[in-house]
Chains A and B, each alone.
Chain A
Amino acid sequence: MTPIPTPHIEAKSPEEIASTVLMPGDPLRAKFIAEKYLEQVTCFNQVRGMLGFTGYYKGKRVSVMGSGMGIPSSMIYFHELFAFYEVETIIRIGTAGSFKQDIGLRDIVVATAAVSDSNINEGKFGNIHYSPTPDFELLVKTWQLTKEKGIKAHFGLVSSGDQFYNENKGQFRDKLVQYGVIAGEMESYGLFTKAHELGKKSLAMFTISDSRFVKNQDSSKQREQGYTAMMELALEIAPE
């Protein structure tokens, strides 16, 4: 076990971090959430500008931290939080691109499993192709809460791509849609894999920030601050 602080997180003790961490890709979105929703906030990480905060949401202790973009960056943080800081649950709260006409800008998507062009699991299970999935209880709890609150959320498969700009973009998208993939993002395949590897819990939800079916995309500022419905949903679900 690597001693803490780790190479990427400066918190000196697991006690500085709550047992559930909400993780947007953008560290400034983590800061926005801490400032808007949490009380008695402390900052536990500034290394590489990857801000992390712990505070209380309606009396419940919770942390929020950026993960950076992509599977390699985010898995560093997932691993260090799960393995070295005794974190039990990570809920990714990200942005995604819609693959379907009926999933519009600002809609919420919850991942029931993740597919990917990443090689991280290649050969790990011999000839078997692993299917990374979220914690089922968290998934059901989310579904129940969205029904209760009348929040429109799409549940389905998401694709975690290694390349935001891809020469072959779209080549396989129709096939992925045919097989049930509803949105594209860049991290949850790594999150679900890491959580299962270490016997921890994870969930990933997204707000749609762009879509090939509409001309306008959300600006970087809207991505940082515009996604309050998802933030509130994740804060409500977060296990203590």
Chain B
Amino acid sequence: MTNIPTPHIEAKSPDEIASTVLMPGDPLRAKFIADTYLENVTCFNQVRGMLGFTGTYHGKRVSVMGSGMGIPSSMIYYHELYAFYQVDTIIRIGTAGSMQEFIKLKDIVVATASISDSAINKGKFGNFEFCPTPDFDLVLGCYELAKKMGITCHFGPVVSGDQFYTEPSDDDNKLAKYGCLVGEMESYGLYTQARSLQKRALAMFTVSDSMLEHSADSSKDREQGYTQMMELALELAPQ
């Protein structure tokens, strides 16, 4: 076991981080959430600018931290938080691109499973293909809570791609036909890491662009525009 602080997180004790961490890809979105929603905020990480904060939301202790983009970057943080800082639950709160006509900009999507072109699980289970999934209690909790809060959520499988800019292929059409709702870049790694360490995970996204309409929000919108999802995740976060 690596001693803390780790190579990527400078918190000196697991006590600095809550048992649930909300994780956007963008560290500035983590800062926005801490500034907007949390009280008694402390900053537990600035290494590589990957800001992490702990505070209270309506009296409940919760942390929020950036993960960076892509499976390799985000898995470093998932692993260090779960394995070295005794974190029990990570809820990814990201942005995603719609792969379906009925999923529009600003809609919220919750990943019930994740599919990827990443090779992180290749050969790990012999001839078996592992299917990374979230904690089912968290999925159900999210479903009930969204109904209670009057928030419309789409539940379904998502695609975690390794390449934001790819050469043209027919892959997206086939994945959409097989029910994939949106594309993003991290949840396949999160769900795999949580299972491997017997921890809990959930990933939800606000749709920031559409692969069908070639429309997109600006980077500033991405940073601040997704208050509904943030509030849903903050309410859901187990203490």
| Residues on A facing B (Cβ under 8 Å) | 5, 7-8, 10, 25-28, 46-51, 66, 68-73, 75-76, 79-80, 83, 117-120, 122, 124, 161-165, 167-168, 186, 197, 209-210, 217, 219-220, 223-224
B75 touching A165, Cβ below 8 Å: yes
Q: Which residues of B are found within 8 Å of A119, using beta-carbon distances?
A: 117-119, 122, 162
B72 touching A217, Cβ below 8 Å: no
Pick the contact of A122: B26, B68, B79, B119 (CB < 8 A): B119
**Distance between B193 CB and nearest chain A CB, rounded to angstroms:** 9
A220 touching B48, Cβ below 8 Å: yes
Task: Classify the interface of chain B: helix, strand, loop or mixed.
Answer: loop
| Stretch from B2-10, B55-63, B136-144, B172-180 at the A interface | B2-10
Mask: chain B, 120-131; 1 = CB below 8 Å from A; 0 = not:
101010000000
A10 touching B219, Cβ below 8 Å: yes
B73 touching A68, Cβ below 8 Å: yes
Given contacts A72-B164, A79-B165, A120-B162, contact A163 B72 (CB under 8 A): yes
From B49, B68, B122, residue with most partner A Cβ within 10 Å: B49
Pick the contact of A70: B46, B70, B161, B196 (CB < 8 A): B70
Complex: how many Å from CA A75 to CA B79? 22
A49 touching B69, Cβ below 8 Å: no
| Residues on B facing A (Cβ under 8 Å) | 5, 7-8, 10, 25-28, 46-51, 66, 68-73, 75-76, 79-80, 83, 117-120, 122, 124, 161-165, 167, 185, 196, 209, 216, 218-219, 222
B71 touching A217, Cβ below 8 Å: no
B25 touching A25, Cβ below 8 Å: no
A71 touching B72, Cβ below 8 Å: yes
From B7, B46, B117, residue with most partner A Cβ within 10 Å: B7
B164 touching A49, Cβ below 8 Å: no
Given contacts A10-B219, A73-B72, A119-B118, contact A49 B66 (CB under 8 A): yes
Q: Which residues of B are found within 8 Å of A68, using beta-carbon distances?
A: 68-70, 73
Q: 4 smallest A-B Cβ distances: which pairs?
A: A72-B70, A70-B72, A49-B49, A119-B119
A220 touching B7, Cβ below 8 Å: yes
Chain B residue with minimal CB distance to A160?
A: B72
Complex: how many Å from CA A171 to CA B119? 16
B167 touching A120, Cβ below 8 Å: no
Pick the contact of B219: A47, A165, A220 (CB < 8 A): A47
**Distance between B4 CB and nearest chain A CB, rounded to angstroms:** 12
Q: Which residues of A are found within 8 Å of B222, using beta-carbon distances?
A: 7
B49 touching A51, Cβ below 8 Å: yes
Given contacts A119-B122, A210-B7, A220-B47, contact A69 B73 (CB under 8 A): yes
Complex: how many Å from CA A45 to CA B70? 19
A28 touching B49, Cβ below 8 Å: yes
**Distance between A92 CB and nearest chain B CB, rounded to angstroms:** 15
Given contacts A48-B27, A49-B66, A164-B75, contact A71 B7 (CB under 8 A): no
What are 27 A-to-B residue pairs whose CB atoms are below 8 Å?
Answer: A7-B216, A25-B48, A47-B28, A48-B27, A48-B69, A48-B219, A49-B27, A49-B51, A51-B49, A68-B68, A69-B68, A69-B72, A69-B73, A70-B70, A70-B76, A71-B162, A72-B72, A118-B119, A119-B117, A124-B167, A162-B71, A162-B120, A164-B79, A165-B79, A220-B8, A220-B10, A224-B47
Q: Other than the known A48-B25, A117-B119, what 17 A-B pairs have Cβ atoms closer than 8 Å?
A: A7-B209, A7-B216, A26-B49, A27-B48, A50-B49, A71-B72, A72-B73, A73-B68, A73-B69, A76-B164, A79-B165, A117-B122, A118-B162, A162-B118, A162-B119, A164-B72, A168-B124
Q: Which residues of B are found within 8 Å of A7, using beta-carbon distances?
A: 209, 216, 219, 222
Given contacts A25-B48, A51-B49, A164-B79, contact A72 B27 (CB under 8 A): no
A8 touching B76, Cβ below 8 Å: no
B162 touching A165, Cβ below 8 Å: no
Q: Which residues of B are found within 8 Å of A5, using beta-carbon distances?
A: 218-219
Complex: how many Å from CA A217 to CA B5? 12
Complex: how many Å from CA A14 to CA B66? 28
